[in-house]
């Protein structure tokens, strides 16, 4: 199987990065991208009910991330959910582009895995070195995720 570096490759990779930073972000952004795309995907994927549920979950994740009781994203369950989120988003984008969904899932999942660790250790280091209140750094991370998501939706 030959991997072609295309627009859908970069979209799946970027969705994986978002999933590594915030689990729920990738499905929300992918859903918004797919709503703009004329594809043969099932109607439930484009439904307003699913979109609202995913957005609500994403907003909840932005809040829960700041709580001291929230486990680190690099715990096994956190990694698994982030990789699954990246895989689903990447597969959806690849499928909608007429490409192999498995390839999109692999790209999204691998990028989510890397982004999970990269964003965790970067945030931790910035907080320690600059004596920044961790929830404030989390808010900066939220802004990056939201901005990245808006940018991705605009490319669809």
Do the domain assignments include residue 2?
no
Look at residue 42 and tell me whether its pLDDT is greater than 80. no
What average pLDDT does range 60-65 have in this prediction? 80
Which residues form the domain of 91? 7-155
Do the domain assignments include residue 92?
yes
Q: What is the pTM of this model?
A: 0.86
**Number of structural domains in the chain:** 1
What average pLDDT does range 37-62 have in this prediction? 71
Coil vs helix vs strand at 69: coil
- What is the share, in percent, of the chain residues with pLDDT greater than 70? 90
Tell me the average pLDDT of the chain: 87
pLDDT-derived band of residue 41, with 50, 70 and 90 as boundaries? low
- Pairwise CA distance, residues 69 & 64, whole Å: 9
User: What per-residue confidence (pLDDT) applies to 4?
Assistant: 54
Look at residue 46 and tell me whether its pLDDT is greater than 70. no
Do the domain assignments include residue 34?
yes
Coil vs helix vs strand at 83: helix
Of 6 and 18, more confident: 18
- pLDDT tens across 86-124, in order? 999 999 889 888 889 999 999 999 999 999 999 999 999
Looking at mean pLDDT, say which of 13-17, 55-59, 65-69, 135-139 comes out highest: 13-17
Do the domain assignments include residue 1?
no
Contact 84, 110 (CB under 8 A): no
Contacts of 153 (CB under 8 A, 6+ apart): 29, 32, 33, 36
pLDDT-derived band of residue 25, with 50, 70 and 90 as boundaries? very high
Structure tokens at 64: 């829960």
């Amino acid at each position: 199987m030959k991997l072609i570096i295309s627009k859908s490759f970069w979209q799946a990779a970027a969705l994986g990065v978002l999933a590594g930073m915030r689990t729920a972000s990738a499905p929300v952004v992918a859903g918004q991208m797919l709503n703009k795309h004329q594809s043969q995907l099932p109607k439930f994927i484009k439904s307003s009910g699913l979109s609202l549920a995913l957005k609500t979950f994403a907003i909840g994740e932005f809040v829960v991330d700041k709580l001291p009781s929230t486990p680190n994203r690099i715990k096994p369950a956190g990694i698994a959910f982030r990789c699954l989120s990246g895989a689903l988003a990447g597969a959806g984008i690849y499928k909608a582009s007429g490409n192999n969904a498995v390839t999109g899932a692999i790209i999204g999942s691998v990028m989510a895995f890397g982004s999970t660790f990269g964003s965790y250790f970067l945030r931790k280091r910035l907080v320690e070195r600059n004596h920044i209140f961790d929830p404030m750094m989390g808010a900066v991370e939220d802004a990056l995720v939201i901005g990245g998501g808006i940018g991705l939706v605009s490319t669809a």
